[in-house]
Amino acid sequence: MENKLYDVIVIGAGPAGMTAAVYASRAGLNVLMLEKGAPGGQMVNTYEVENYTGFEKISGPDLSMKMFEHTQKLGVQYAYGDVIGLVDEGKTKVVLTDSYKYQTKAVIIATGTINRRLNAKGEDKLAGRGISWCAICDGAFYRNKDVVVIGGGNSAVEEALYLSGICRKVTIIHRRDEFRAEKIAQERVAASEKIVFELDSVVESFNEINDKLGSVTVKNVKTNNTKDILCDGAFIYVGQDPVTSMFKNVISLNKNGYIITNDKMETNLLGIYAAGDVTVKDLRQIITATNDGAIAAQNALKYIESIH
Ligand code: FAD
Ligand code: NAP
């Protein structure tokens, strides 16, 4: 256990966590931000962001670095840590990582979400051998090759567009005949000559050829017909799940595992706040994550002042 008592520990350095850290630090609080991956969260894996006000277009990694540099200029302490638990001891909270215990007056949870698996046959075996959840990380492996993208939300449609700039052909496989992605993104994929659609279709299996992905078998849910689509890569974008398993016995979650907060980003426990995609909310975006982070930090400050 570290002897030091922090004012605020922020768990997760995505846009929600980094904004919380900026606000808390500017308020004069002693802030530690713990992150198990790279600063930026989901932004690191996003090719281009076009809806964060002030930046008509900015790459996800660039926006991540700008936010991180901002935290560092303000003196936010940053440490690697995979948080595995949280203990509420009243005025002191203990944050447990895989290797340390940290003490703090207030906690802001901003652990975001992780990509959901499809749980189709062959997925586990071929993960990393043709199957990926990140076009910006792995797209370049498929230059001038054929790939499929599974899903119909913003992620699937936008990442399909990104892949169409690299690959020979991109097939979007979606279980319905309507997309939930924003209209502007739908219009762009419809206009692309490299993108084709396999609608009303679900993946039955990912098939191996020579030790790596060689095709996917899809079933049309209206006709029940199946067919194989030859491909070198498959990118799965079928939604996200919240990263909250380590908090499930501590704070209130909804039935899907998202953290329940009020409009002050307070959880059911005094001094513990949550911000960003990990919370119950309608719109999961960078800008709404930063909004939550600012509110959480502001209320953490008021809480800390109240316990003096
Ligand atoms: P995240 O960005 O998920 O960050 C959470 C952080 O917490 C991560 O860095 C993670 O490693 C860390 N963490 C998790 N568990 C632990 C732990 N146990 N210990 C320590 N650290 C932990 N939004 C837009 O506004 N515009 C876009 O163009 C856009 N494009 C997107 C493209 C894709 C492919 C995806 C998947 C999402 C996109 N989004 C976009 C949504 C946006 O990225 C999210 O809404 C936003 O990143 C949420 O921020 P967050 O800080 O809440 O969570
Ligand atoms: P999402 O919006 O939840 O969409 C998931 C897609 O996968 C849906 O089309 C869904 O189909 C499909 N799907 C879910 N489970 C499936 C299954 N088992 N089999 C086949 N298909 C399945 O997820 P997302 O696209 O990853 O987006 C996540 C969040 O990030 C959203 O809030 C989104 O707005 C945000 N985001 C924003 C941007 C942006 O602002 N530009 C970009 C990317 C992501 P149905 O439609 O039939 O349910």
CA of 182 to the centre of ligand 2 (A): 11
Nearest CA to ligand 1 atom 46: 286
Q: For residue 143, is pLDDT > 80?
A: yes
Nearest CA to ligand 1 atom 39: 285
What region, left, alpha or beta, does residue 253 occupy, with left being phi > 0 and alpha being psi -120 to 50 degrees? Answer: beta
Rounded CA separation 308/291 (Å): 27
| Residue, of 30 and 138, whose pLDDT is higher | 30
Whether 123-236 and 5-115+240-307 are alike in CATH topology: the answer is yes
Fold assignment, 123-236:
FAD/NAD(P)-binding domain (3.50.50)
CA of 155 to the centre of ligand 2 (A): 6
CA of 114 to the centre of ligand 2 (A): 12
Spell out where 122-259 has E strands: 131-132, 146-150, 169-173, 195-198, 201-209, 212-220, 226-230, 233-236, 240-242
pLDDT at 248: 93
Annotated active-site residue 231? The verdict is: no
Alpha helices by DSSP H, listed for the chain, are 15-26, 60-73, 123-126, 135-138, 154-164, 183-191, 286-306
Is residue 25 very low, low, confident or very high in pLDDT (cuts 50, 70, 90)?
A: very high
β-strands 92-97, 83-89 pairing: antiparallel
- In words, the CATH class of domain 5-115+240-307 is alpha beta
CA of 209 to the centre of ligand 1 (A): 34
The answer to whether the predicted template modeling score (pTM) of the entire model surpasses 0.85 is yes
Residues with CB under 6 A from ligand 2: 51, 118, 151-156, 158, 175-176, 180, 202, 237-240, 284-285
pLDDT at 137: 86
**Active-site residue, selected from the candidate residues 138, 146, 277, 292:** 138
pLDDT at 297: 98
Percentage with pLDDT > 70 across the chain: 99
Radius of gyration of the chain (CA): 21
Phi, psi of 213, rounded to the nearest 5 degrees = -60, 135
Report the Cα 286 to chain-centroid distance in Å.
10
Q: What is the pLDDT of residues 217-256, one digit of tens each?
A: 999 999 999 999 999 999 999 999 999 999 999 999 999 9
- Mean per-residue pLDDT over the chain, rounded: 96
Contact between residue 247 and residue 259 where contact means Cβ atoms under 8 Å apart: yes
Q: What is the pLDDT of residues 188-211, one digit of tens each?
A: 999 999 999 999 999 999 999 999
User: CA-CA-CA-CA torsion for 33, 54, 26, 275, nearest 10 degrees?
Assistant: -40
Q: For residue 1, is pLDDT > 80?
A: no
Contact between residue 134 and residue 44 where contact means Cβ atoms under 8 Å apart: no
β-strands 101-109, 5-11 pairing: parallel
Give the residue, out of 179, 180, 241, 286, with the most ligand 2 atoms within 8 A of its beta carbon, to mutate for a pocket test: 180
Residues 6 or more apart whose CB falls under 8 angstroms from that of 128 comprise none
Question: Tokens 């380590």 — which residue?
Answer: 246
- In sequence order, what are the beta bridge partners of 147? 170, 233
Residues with CB under 6 A from ligand 1: 11-17, 34-37, 41-43, 45-46, 49, 51-52, 81-83, 110-113, 155, 159, 243, 276-278, 284-287, 289
Q: What is the pLDDT of residues 39-64, one digit of tens each?
A: 999 999 888 899 999 999 999 999 99
**Active-site residue, selected from the candidate residues 82, 98, 124, 137:** 137
Report the Cα 250 to chain-centroid distance in Å.
22
Q: What is the pLDDT of residues 274-305, one digit of tens each?
A: 999 999 999 999 999 999 999 999 999 999 99
> What is the residue extent of each domain of the chain?
5-115+240-307, 123-236
Quick one: which ligand is closest to 283's CA? 2
Cα distances (Å, whole numbers) of residue 270 to 11, 187, 190, 214, 277:
17, 46, 49, 53, 21
pLDDT at 3: 77
Rounded CA separation 164/147 (Å): 9
Residues 6 or more apart whose CB falls under 8 angstroms from that of 289 comprise 14, 15, 16, 19, 110, 112, 275, 276, 277
